[in-house]
Structure 1
Amino acid sequence: MMQKRVNRSMWLLRSVLHSNSRTLSSSSSDVDVLNNVLNNQVLVEGNGYTRMAILNRPSALNAINTNMATRLHKLYRTWEEDPHIAFLIIKGSGRAFAAGGDIVALYHLINQGKMEVCKEFFRTIYTFIYLIGTYMKPHVALLNGITMGGGAGVSIPGTFRVATDKTIFATPEVLIGFHPDAGASFYLSHLPGHLGEYLALTGEKLNGVEMVTCGLATHYSLSARLPLIEEQLGRLVTDDPSVIETTLEQYGDLVHLDSRSVLQRIEIVDKCFGHDTVEEIVDALEIAASETKDAWCISTLNRLKEACPLSLKVSLRSIREGRFQTLDQCLSREYRMTLQGISKQISGDYCEGVRARVIDKDMAPKWDPPTLEKVSEDMVDQYFLPLSESEPDLELPTKIREAFF
């Protein structure tokens, strides 16, 4: 009986997530089951002066879908207006905080021609990210485990980010024919030197120590201490960020960068990734690799050669523009870029990248264009053009909520 109930729940969930046109002729019990399944994708804990949102799709590494983003947005708005709630905490269940947006679901929706559903997803998550970046109450993100793409987007604009010994951060979108989005062009562009370009163009990972060292995280703690941190935060009766910070520092741990860390190589990162074009960056790495035979230069070069050529050029320009834009401007531009990227009017690289790395897993994407030399300026420019009159831009409440991130 239990197995039949679970199967029924999953059928109902798939009906909503994958069939925009189907109308469910369901009983009230079916609706209750469905609502329960959807609500359980974001759990709520806390009492007194705190509330905790728990991303709860552990089998999908807490990949964020439209339902989760919508529920988070509603919860956060309610909590912000509640005078009895002082601050918020967000974490993930299982071995991830959040691996990003649900790229598999998007892949299927694009191939089914359900572009409006895709647009709704991006509008919803980008708007939620702006809410976090303008939130009037302290926000603590516990980044224990995989924190990538959209997962970083829903945490980094907040007040505090606690990385751990299990944290793995990356913005690997260029490896699937996309661009670092969800506010990444803002926070990556504000990292020291040209570290942001390096992370955006290679998709390489940082650990928790590296995150706190470069400023992506505000605190570092061993994952074994997290239950104690959660307990102490739950006892606080304050909305004073300094008191929350003191608590996080009290249970923090010292960080020591590994000698092999990219943060020990900032000089060569700046030298190579500070060039104006992707071609010049590749040339600089090739020269450095041939002169020094350095393993880091060689592996970095190989990562660039794995990535989508069009995505590399689009992402470099995105990071460079992000240096001179506010969070809302970056999100609005990224939305335009995203619609261009998934429309297949310029290239089908996004679906091809997801197919090769996640669906078929043959790791052999056929990029279009296949090389940097064949990526024209016009193709790159098209990503940054205003949308058509019939296609509205992302609307963010900038007049009533000004980002201070």
Structure 2
Amino acid sequence: MMQSRIRRSVSLFRRSLLHSNNAKYSSSSSSYGVDEILDNEVLVEGIGYTRMAILNRPSALNAINTNMATRLHQFYRTWEDNSHIGFLMIKGSGRAFAAGGDIVALYHMIKQGNMEACKEFFRTIYSFIYLIGTYMKPHVALLNGITMGGGAGVSIPGTFRVATDKTIFATPEVLIGFHPDAGASFYLSHLPGHLGEYLALTGEKLNGVEMVTCGLATHYTLTARLPLIEEQLGRLVTDDPSVIETTLEQYGDLVHPDSRSVLQRIEIVDKCFGLDTVEEIVDALEVAASETKDAWCISTLNRLKEACPLSLKVSLRSIREGRFQTFDQCLSREYRMTLQGISKQISGDYCEGVRARVIDKDMAPKWDPPTLEKVSQDMVDQYFLPLSEFEPDLELPTKIREAFS
């Protein structure tokens, strides 16, 4: 009964589309060795019948690296088996929940030719995301601040996502020559209309109000109330999602997106981003921009022109395929796409994008190919091909942990 109840609530898309109590496991020291630094990248607090994981790399906006993903996976597996723990919470330190995966570390791994370390990172974080999406206990993510890419990946598949007035969500991967991953092709493809294509291809941001309105978040609250919410949740002795939801609703706020929100433009979003190809989407926006001189159309068109042409075509196909796949199938496909994308066998766009936007910050990436017209169908197809017989696919425990659709 408990399992079926959590199954019903664990997925956003079914809703709207180490032992003792009061123990603290975080450590502190004025001088850290390497082990201590690694240990402190994920802190844990035991609060009553709950456990709180804290992403703790504030200077890097809590960008998730292999160590963090490994520690999270280990903690969550232990907590799931612990009958003294009813539900889990996760939050970030500083001004971000998590800005995504550690793209700078990945850039240097690729430059050094350390592809095995890259593969380990993606295997680890994707496997952890699958664990969250199939978790047998309620999960509450407090999305205060920047929540992008992999940060969304480790929160959206869970039971509850609490957005705030400081939440900034985006999947900006096309701007660095990559594709929305970490389960994004699943949850974006299940958003209303063609909002998912819009978010994937533009990398545009949503605020907390917009996240709740479209279903990416389940609750909204002001940042000032978060300490009270944490305190009240920490007092609960339950594993019942409905009890947790009652508490969240008690301190939540009813919200409506303002007139400038993309959610007030769903008709034109669907009209343009529901078209079959990126070229058709661009043409439709150009027509709309020329006819109406609308600032949103012009801004959206400019975002598409900033993005990596190959990434745009790959990402559009990824979202479209995600609409007809289960969560585990999306993660497995994204893993194959990721290895193809970072291998440099098709293009070096990922490293060039990170270089231009994060390393050198000249904001002038030289995409290869440089235009949509020069992106061949074969290049796009290669992203979706099976890996070689010597390269194993992502292994997910689907026989033990049933994925949702």
What is the TM-score with the length of structure 2 in the denominator? 0.92
Report the count of equivalent residues.
376
Unpaired runs of 5+ residues, structure 1, are 10-32
Could you list the runs of 5+ residues in structure 2 that have no partner in the other structure? Answer: 1-29
Which residue does 1:17 correspond to in 2?
Answer: none
**Residues 1:335 and 2:327 are matched in the alignment:** no
2:265 is paired with a residue whose SS is: helix
What is the Cα deviation at residue 258 of structure 1?
1.2
Structure 2: how far apart are the matches of 1:173 and 1:299? 18
Q: Deviations over 1:310-368 (max 9, x none)?
A: 00000000000000000000000000000000000000000000000000000000000
Paired position in structure 2 for 1:244: 244
> In the TM superposition, what whole-angstrom CA distance separates every residue of 1:262-300 from its partner, at most 9, and x where no partner exists?
000000000000000000000000000011110000000
Equivalent residue of 2:189, what SS?
A: coil
Residues 12-161 of structure 1: matches in 2 within 5 Å? 33-161=33-161
Match of 1:13 in 2: none
Amino acid at match of 1:56: N
Q: Displacement of 1:403 after TM fit?
A: 2.0
C-alpha distance in structure 2 between counterparts of 1:270 and 1:63, whole Å: 32
Give the drift of 1:197. Answer: 0.1
CA shift for structure 1 position 254: 1.9
Which residue number in structure 1 is paired with residue 299 of structure 2? Answer: 299
Alignment match, 2:384:
384
Q: CA deviation at 1:35?
A: 2.0
Structure 2 partner of 1:209: 209
In 1, the alpha carbon distance for the partners of 2:254 and 2:85 equals 31
**Equivalent residue, structure 1, for 2:322:** 322
Contact 2:171 2:200 in 1 (8 A): yes
Could you tell me which amino acid in structure 1 is paired with residue 155 of structure 2? S
Runs of 4+, deviation exceeding 2 Å:
none
Residue matched to 2:267: 267
2:326–2:404 CA contact under 8 A, matched in 1: no
Distance 2:180 2:188 in 1: 9
Query: What letter matches 1:153 in structure 2?
Result: G
CA RMSD of aligned residues (A): 0.8
SS of 1:52 mapped into structure 2:
strand
Alignment match, 1:194: 194
Q: What letter corresponds to residue 106 of structure 1 in structure 2?
A: L
Match of 1:164 in 2: 164
Deviations 1:219-278 (A, max 9, x none): 000000000000000000110000000000000012121100000000000000000000
Cα distance between partner residues in 1 of 2:404 and 2:232: 27
One-letter amino acid matched to 1:194: H
Letter in 1 for 2:282: V
Secondary structure in 1 matching 2:386: coil
Q: Could you tell me which amino acid in structure 2 is paired with residue 239 of structure 1?
A: D
Separation in 2 of the partners of 1:208 and 1:168?
7
1:26 maps to what in 2?
A: none
SS of 1:169's partner is strand
Structure 2 contact 213–256 (Cα < 8 Å) conserved: no
